[in-house]
Structure 1
């Protein structure tokens, strides 16, 4: 493209061949002849898509996923899993450590999590789910009825 940098119409045509999917659909919704040169195309494209850049998160981001004081355990697990799914190539041992780390305050649950020798993240989720059910049942019994 460097060879054709003075030929705006050719650069625009070449650029459009690189577009796929949703971006290509967006391009074809532009009004005909609304772009006069490659600088305009660059500006319109950047304005449309610069906010869509994804910030790549790493596994250690999961240490920032904290349980809110009034949040039910089940809700926290769901939120933690949702954050984990967003991380491409998430390291399960780091995720497991972050997940266990958040449960230090819950002594009973932490003891169970830490005492298991070959604790996988899936097993941690299952164990926490059991505690969540127990906690919800305990809260329901205490609720004024």
Structure 2
């Protein structure tokens, strides 16, 4: 306790150890942080207490005064006391069961493989090469391994990483090409497809009762790409009200839900086979808004 602290010395700020996780990891973090200073062996022992909490702190304070002579002595006692929190290594034979899933990418499999390999005891880099070859599913990579077996485990991982990068690039390319094809508006899958030579429309004397406001149905129809903005929509009524706005005409003059032109257009779409989910059935009340707008 009489050992002077180095100039500008600051205790390392690492997560306190409570005794529930691997003590080796905590000890390594402390050493890495304290070695950046010019702290002596005595200061290392004294500063270690500040990185403990809970039962680990109780353990430290239980030492009789003067019972710790070096940091190596303290480290040994620390690892011995919390040895039960050190994760047990798995048997090497567990690698034989680590097969690539059918829908698992090579990148994900490599991540899972490396994590498992790290937890294996007495890892044999020579014996693991044929095991990896037997467990992998990716066909192009598997053919390459069979035709040209890697000479080392490091060479195997390097080649696997390269094939994983190619696999990811090809997948992104497919998604981009598929996205360009899907950019064209699609009709609602729940609505029946209209015949190629449009049906004979029923007279629009009576409008079909609807479950949602016309303005809400308009937004859904716009997403489907079935709204037609004809020349009629551009006519400005002489009885305009500047306080109202029609999202169908995109101009002031009247409210969207009061627009007769829009109501007739929605009715026409319904008669053509679209927007059937908004037709009010017998006994059905109005909801708050369409769930898929």
TM-score computed with the length of structure 1 as normaliser: 0.58
Structure 1 segments unaligned to the other structure (5+ residues): 1-19, 31-48
1:29 aligns with 2:58: yes
Looking at structure 2, the residues matched to 29 and 90 of structure 1 have their Cα atoms a distance apart, in angstroms, of: 37
Q: 2:138 aligns with which of 106, 118, 121?
A: 106
1:84 aligns with 2:95: no
Label 1:73 to 1:107 Cα distance change in 2 as closer, same or farther (>3 A): closer
The answer to whether the 8 Å contact 1:96/1:120 transfers is yes
Counterpart residue number, 2:103: 70
Larger Rg: 2
Looking at structure 1, the residues matched to 138 and 56 of structure 2 have their Cα atoms a distance apart, in angstroms, of: 53
RMSD: 3.3
Give the secondary-structure state (helix, strand or coil) at the position aligned to 1:29: helix
In the TM superposition, what is the alpha-carbon distance from 1:68 to its structure 2 partner? Answer: 2.7
Q: 1:133 aligns with which of 165, 184, 193?
A: 165
Looking at structure 2, the residues matched to 28 and 77 of structure 1 have their Cα atoms a distance apart, in angstroms, of: 39
Q: Which gives a bigger RCO, structure 1 or 2 (Cα 8 Å, sep 6+)?
A: 1
Label 1:81 to 1:94 Cα distance change in 2 as closer, same or farther (>3 A): same
Q: After superposing the two structures, state which structure 1 stretch, 52-61 or 69-78, moved more.
A: 52-61
The answer to whether the 8 Å contact 2:150/2:156 transfers is no
Give the secondary-structure state (helix, strand or coil) at the position aligned to 2:160: helix
1:120 aligns with 2:149: no
Looking at structure 2, the residues matched to 138 and 118 of structure 1 have their Cα atoms a distance apart, in angstroms, of: 24
- Give the number of the structure whose residues are more often helix, by fraction: 1
In the TM superposition, what is the alpha-carbon distance from 1:141 to its structure 2 partner? Answer: 1.5
Looking at structure 1, the residues matched to 113 and 150 of structure 2 have their Cα atoms a distance apart, in angstroms, of: 21
Structure 2 segments unaligned to the other structure (5+ residues): 1-22, 27-51, 60-81, 180-293
* CA deviation vs aligned residue, 1:35-58 (integer Å, no higher than 9, x gap): xxxxxxxxxxxxxx8x84744312
Q: After superposing the two structures, state which structure 1 stretch, 114-123 or 93-102, moved more.
A: 114-123
Give the secondary-structure state (helix, strand or coil) at the position aligned to 1:113: helix
Q: 1:93 aligns with which of 116, 126, 132?
A: 126
Give the secondary-structure state (helix, strand or coil) at the position aligned to 2:123: coil
Give the secondary-structure state (helix, strand or coil) at the position aligned to 2:154: helix
The aligned length equals: 110
* CA deviation vs aligned residue, 1:29-81 (integer Å, no higher than 9, x gap): 38xxxxxxxxxxxxxxxxxx8x8474431222112222233332112112111
